[in-house]
Chain A
Amino acid sequence: MILTPKIVARIALVGLLGVLLQLSFFSQVELFHVSPDILPALVVCLALLGGSLTGAVAGFSIGFFVDCLLVEALGVSSLVLLGIGYLAGLYRERFEFRGSLVPALLCMGLTLVAELGFGAIQLLLGIDAPVSVLIVRDILLKSVYAFFLGWPIYLLVRRSLRPALVEEPKVQRRRQPKVLGV
């Protein structure tokens, strides 16, 4: 990805819209008693398109913004999201990914990592109440939702950052010449 001030502004806008959509829509709807969390998937998609550095910075910034809006202790969401952003970017840099399932599977896997990481940090900081086993169901269902939402998020993010993407031009197949009379 070629980062110009315009593209950085676009990434910031994508992050802002993603956070607003999460807090005003996805966090307030429930399917099977669990709300989807699109923020890890959004960070993964940004990292898959921009690499590990873009992923880490985007994750940190999105987490920081969420914590500011929710008036929570700063740093928790940043730490988790920068971690998965870096991991997704590293995957993109180390391995060549082909196939449309890869972004969705990465979104699912890294959402699971993010939710577990978030839980681990909260437990380390101290929880003043017992923890229900239903939290396991929540974490697993959030990962499943991330699988289904990952692909459309990836397409939307790729579309919005298209001018910055360095893509190999598709090799166009030439039509077979028609042999007259056959």
Chain B
Amino acid sequence: MYRKQVRRRRAVLALLIVGSFVLLTITYGQGSNGLQRGVSTIFSPLQGVADRALKPARDLVDWFDKTFDARGENSRLKSELAKSREQAVAGQEAMQENAELRKLVALDRGPVLAASAYEPVAGRVIARSPTEWRSNVTIDVGSGDGVHVDDPVISGNGLVGRIAAVEPGSSQVMLLTDHESAVAAKVVPAGVQGVIKPEVGNPERLILDFIDSTKLVHGGQTVVTSGWRAQGLASLFPPGLPLGEVTKASIVDQEAKEQADVRPFADISNLDLVQVLTGGSRG
């Protein structure tokens, strides 16, 4: 009797392990399938309700966490403020000059404003992956709201990712910190182009990879999407979306590895409200 039980238990275990491998083999790298779309469609309203109901509790825990961080953050922000004041003065001058030049060449829409061709759709984060190995979130807008796969997703501070899968009432956003993410970027004002890639497990560090080692990048410079278009191919992201700030760009790293460290502008660990840029022309 006992042996029979043990045999049955082992058989079920073997069946489940084989089942997992079969599922993995069938679905790996295939995107969403009908089953996942069905489950997601059924449970996304429930996730929305749970998200709203649990928001006060989440805010309370976040408050505790942020209080711990506040002390270190304060001194950093003070030095950033001083630097930003200097940049703002320089920026105002540049904007004035820019406006005059635009009038001269009769350009009413510059490349940075190409994003305005997009229709922004606001969404709320309703679920997040529990592990650091994957970096994606579920938002409460989907194909019913005009969202499509590969649409860029932004927060108030800049680009956060792109749509990876769409259901009628929800979508999956692949964040900049996901290991599969890669965004064509450029450093302004240096103009150095590269690809923004993540470092798995560290949401506060991105890597600007494949940069031109003959042009030097400096700490404090801003990184934006480059939004290239060539031979019928185009970047998924419009040009000029803020990505982050160069934090470390040693000459050794730039020359040997063609890399620089970037801190993302968007607080990717604490996303709540985002905007999906639907429609528009890519690149």
Q: A71-B37, A129-B200 are in contact. List 10 more A-B contacts (CB 8 A).
A: A22-B130, A23-B126, A23-B127, A24-B50, A30-B269, A35-B128, A71-B36, A73-B27, A135-B132, A138-B132
What residue of chain A has the Cβ atom nearest to residue B133's Cβ? A122
Chain B positions within 8 Å of A133 at CB level:
201
Q: How far is the CB of B127 from chain A (nearest CB, A)?
A: 4
Q: For the complex, give the distance between the alpha carbons of A133 and B200 in Å.
A: 9
A105 at the interface (CB under 8 A from B): no
- Is A69 a contact partner of B43 (Cβ separation < 8 A)? yes
- Is A28 a contact partner of B58 (Cβ separation < 8 A)? yes
The number of A-B residue pairs with CB atoms under 8 Å apart is: 178
Q: For the complex, give the distance between the alpha carbons of A119 and B133 in Å.
A: 7
- Is A132 a contact partner of B200 (Cβ separation < 8 A)? yes
The residue in B19, B35, B125, B126 that gathers the most chain A C-beta atoms within 10 A of its C-beta is B19
Please tell me which one of the listed residues B16, B58, B134 contacts residue A72 in the complex, with CB atoms under 8 A apart. Answer: B134
Chain B positions within 8 Å of A73 at CB level:
23-24, 27-30
Interface of chain B residues 171 through 210 with chain A (CB within 8 A): 172, 179-182, 197-202, 205, 207
A8 at the interface (CB under 8 A from B): no
- Is A75 a contact partner of B21 (Cβ separation < 8 A)? yes
What residue of chain A has the Cβ atom nearest to residue B125's Cβ? A28
B interface residues with partner A (beta carbon < 8 Å): 9, 12-13, 16-17, 19-32, 35-37, 39-40, 43, 46-47, 50-51, 54, 57-58, 61-62, 64-65, 68, 125-134, 136, 138, 164-165, 172, 179-182, 197-202, 205, 207, 269-270
Encoded as 1 (CB less than 8 Å from any B CB) or 0, chain A from 117 to 148 comes to 01100100101111111110010000000000
The answer to whether A57 and B12 touch (CB under 8 A), given A26-B130, A130-B199, A132-B201, is yes
Chain A positions within 8 Å of B26 at CB level:
74
Please tell me which one of the listed residues A30, A70, A138 contacts residue B127 in the complex, with CB atoms under 8 A apart. Answer: A70
Q: For the complex, give the distance between the alpha carbons of A28 and B57 in Å.
A: 11
Q: For the complex, give the distance between the alpha carbons of A30 and B269 in Å.
A: 8
Please tell me which one of the listed residues B51, B131, B165 contacts residue A71 in the complex, with CB atoms under 8 A apart. Answer: B165
A39 at the interface (CB under 8 A from B): yes
Please tell me which one of the listed residues B22, B50, B133 contacts residue A21 in the complex, with CB atoms under 8 A apart. Answer: B50
A43 at the interface (CB under 8 A from B): no
A7 at the interface (CB under 8 A from B): no
A91 at the interface (CB under 8 A from B): no
- Is B58 a contact partner of A135 (Cβ separation < 8 A)? no
The answer to whether A75 and B22 touch (CB under 8 A), given A20-B46, A52-B9, A56-B16, is yes
Binds B, one of A76-84, A95-103, A151-159: A76-84
A3 at the interface (CB under 8 A from B): no
What residue of chain A has the Cβ atom nearest to residue B171's Cβ? A71
Q: For the complex, give the distance between the alpha carbons of A73 and B172 in Å.
A: 13
- Is B21 a contact partner of A25 (Cβ separation < 8 A)? no
Chain A positions within 8 Å of B36 at CB level:
67-68, 71, 74
What residue of chain B has the Cβ atom nearest to residue A39's Cβ? B130
A14 at the interface (CB under 8 A from B): no
The residue in B25, B29, B64, B269 that gathers the most chain A C-beta atoms within 10 A of its C-beta is B269
